[in-house]
Amino acid sequence: MGRIAKPHGLNGEVSVAPRTDEPDRRFAAGAVLTTEQPGGGAPHGPGRPARLTVRSSRWHQERLLVRFEEIGDRTAADAARGLVLVCSVDDDETPDDPEEFYDHQLIGARVFTADGALVGELTGVQHGAAQDLLSIRTTEGHEALVPFVAALVPEVDVAGKRIVVEDRPGLLRPAPDE
């Protein structure tokens, strides 16, 4: 959902680099977030709590500023710097925008080409700065990365666990040598 950046002021408020399309929803007062080290794993060390409760959040000059119950001053805010914020999402919860999906809704979906040929299974979603990539384990056993854009992924059926991909030379399978 985000990463704690630098402290803001003296009272424990921190700037957060959001990694969610729903920051106002995810950083609402009362939300309880789990923290992780940047590379994964539980936080360790003094001032690095495993869970944080949002006291308040606000936007300031295009930055998200969050105050957590467990962070009371600038020293504690600085100690929490770099922690990755994660929230659990109920299986039946859906994003507000019908054109958006949570990763857990897509993982395990069968992937087909537009003409109905089985490509493989979606194993993950890689979130990049420019666009997201679908990671597909093909029926041949290799990994294919497909940009998650409407031109290449015209259909996503969450309920049916089915994704349709427009195949292009070299996209789903290695391009044949010319």
Residues of the chain with pLDDT under 70: 39-42, 45-47, 89-96, 129, 177-178
**CATH at residue 21:** 2.40.30.60
81 and 125 share a domain? Answer: no
How many CA atoms within 13 Å lie on the side-chain side of 101?
A: 22
Asked whether residue 147 is domain-assigned, the answer is yes
Asked whether residue 124 is domain-assigned, the answer is yes
The pLDDT assigned to 178 comes to 52
8 and 81 share a domain? Answer: yes
The pLDDT assigned to 62 comes to 86
108 and 79 share a domain? Answer: no
Asked whether residue 44 is domain-assigned, the answer is yes
Domain of residue 23 covers 2-86
Count of domains for the chain = 2
Residue 163 contacts residue 157 (beta carbons within 8 Å)? yes
Strand 14-18 and strand 63-68: pairing?
antiparallel
Residue 147: name the closest of 168, 177, 119 by CA. Answer: 168
The pLDDT assigned to 27 comes to 92
109 and 67 share a domain? Answer: no
The pLDDT assigned to 91 comes to 61
How is 91-157 classified by DSSP, letter by letter? TT---SSTT---HHHHTT-EEEETTS-EEEEEEEEEE-SS-EEEEEEETTS-EEEEE--TTT--EEE
The pLDDT assigned to 143 comes to 93
Facing residues of 13 across strands? none
80 and 144 share a domain? Answer: no
Q: Which positions ≥6 away from 112 have C-beta within 8 Å? A: 118, 119, 162, 163, 164, 165
Of the residues 86, 119, 138, the one at which a domain ends: 86
Asked whether residue 22 is domain-assigned, the answer is yes
120 and 58 share a domain? Answer: no
Facing residues of 65 across strands? 15, 58
64 and 136 share a domain? Answer: no
pTM above 0.75, yes or no: no
149 and 82 share a domain? Answer: no
14 and 72 share a domain? Answer: yes
67 and 6 share a domain? Answer: yes
